[in-house]
Structure formats: C-alpha cells, structure tokens
Structure 1
Amino acid sequence: MHRDAHAIRDFLAASPGNVILPRLAEQPISARVREILQQKRPAWADLATVAACLHMSVSTLQRHLATESTSFQALKDQLRRDVAIVRLATSAVPLAALAAELGFADSAAFQRAFKTWTGGAPGSYRRRVAAAGGGDSLPAP
C-alpha cells in the first residue's frame, strides 16, 4: 500500500493512543462490568444480568474476574462506595434514602458497609465534608 507524507504524519500522530490505550473490546472485564453496573443504576443489575450483557455465562464471567483478582460483588461494592461518597459530599439526601438508592435493605446495613469500606460512619463523613467547605475537595474517607 502506498501512502503520502500527510497520511503517514496522521498515522504517527495517532499511534501513541493506538499503542497505549486498549480497544473497547480489549478492556479488562472488570471495567466492562463496572460500566454495565453504572448504566443499570439505580436498579443494580445482578451477576446473571451482567453476564448476559457481556454475552457470556455466569461461570465464565466469574472466571474472567478471578483472573483479574476481583469478583462481581467487590466491583459492585466499589461502585456503591464511590457513589455513596459523592452523594454524601454533594447532597443532603437522608441516609435511609441513600441506602435505598444504593440497593441496601435498610439504613443500618448501609452504615455498616460504609464503615467497612472507609473506617467511619457516613454521617461523620458528611459532617467532615461540610466542615471542609463542601465537595470541592473531598476529604479522605
């Protein structure tokens, strides 16, 4: 194939991105699972639904995630933690409503999970953010 100098310059200018960034189909399965969970929010898709979205069986999805040293529940919990931190920092939604939004059975279950994730209670985290001046620079959980 013959290319002119302009086509070669365009190719070389785009080549670092082509070499460094994976193609969409080559993304790690964990990133694709997280994307699907974000898209399905607030319904919080289950493992079977996510596997079907990825056109694979549940066991195949679990096996792929295991090779990445993670699990479906770990990814879901990370996303729920991230959403909780943002919502606590940027809104005054009651903890019970936030717990329901995140898919917890009740506020107590959410508070236990948040304490496990961050080492502190969600109410105290919200107060620290408010004392620091809002969600501009979120304090470490």
Structure 2
Amino acid sequence: MSSCSHAEEMNGLHLIADLYRCEPASGLLLERTALETLCVEECRSAGLSPLGAYFYQFVDEHGEAAGVTGTVVLAESHLAIHTWPESGDVTLDVYVCNFSRDNSDRARQLFSRVIDVLRPAEIVNHEVVRGRLPAEV
C-alpha cells in the first residue's frame, strides 16, 4: 500500500518552480548522471525515501549533450526536473503527501537545496496544498 493511498488522507504539498538563467557550478543542466545524483542525494538528505529514478539525456543534432529530464519516485511521492541548458532554464516540481507524517518541511528543504545548487537569476514558484482539508465541526 502506498503511503499516499487513501483519498481522504492524501493531503500534501506540491512545490513548483520555474528557474531562469541558472548558473550551476558544474554541468548539471547538461549531464544526466550529475543531475540524477544531485536529486537522489538531496531527497535522502531531506529525509525522504527514493524508490527509484529515471533520468533521460537529450542530445542535439550533432550528438552533443542537450537538456535532461528526470523523476525521482519517492515513497512520499516525487521530484521532477527538466532542463533547457541553452537558456539556463529549469522546471522543478516536488510533491509529498502527508499520509503517515507531515513531510512539508522535508519537501521545502529539498526544494530549496536543489534551487540553491542551480543558482537561478530569477525564480517563479508556487506552493499548492493538495487534498481535502478536514471538515469543520
């Protein structure tokens, strides 16, 4: 049974960011392995539970590394990331459900750490509370 299995218990937090003109210290926007390692390690560091990851390396018409798209599947839900190295742009998406514990602070820590490493010049982000709020009595 998933830790997000009951509709009435699926309350969670979805963090979404568009990151513009990123300037990471290494080739993270171009290198699948480096980006995957960062994302999986930061999930663990935040106290979340990676179950698996899939990252795909795009190549340009000359066979050179281009963008990367990837997902880390978490027991608590997921992290998704997509890069456009030609412009330095990244989309980042972290969703955690709070079925067995409140993972909101863990999600915020993960989200902030990945953004800090990518060093964007501009950030447009949103925080969405997911699920039903408890009924008032």
Q: Same fold (TM over 0.5)?
A: no
TM-score by length of structure 1 reads: 0.26
Pair member with larger Rg: 1
Larger relative strand fraction? 2
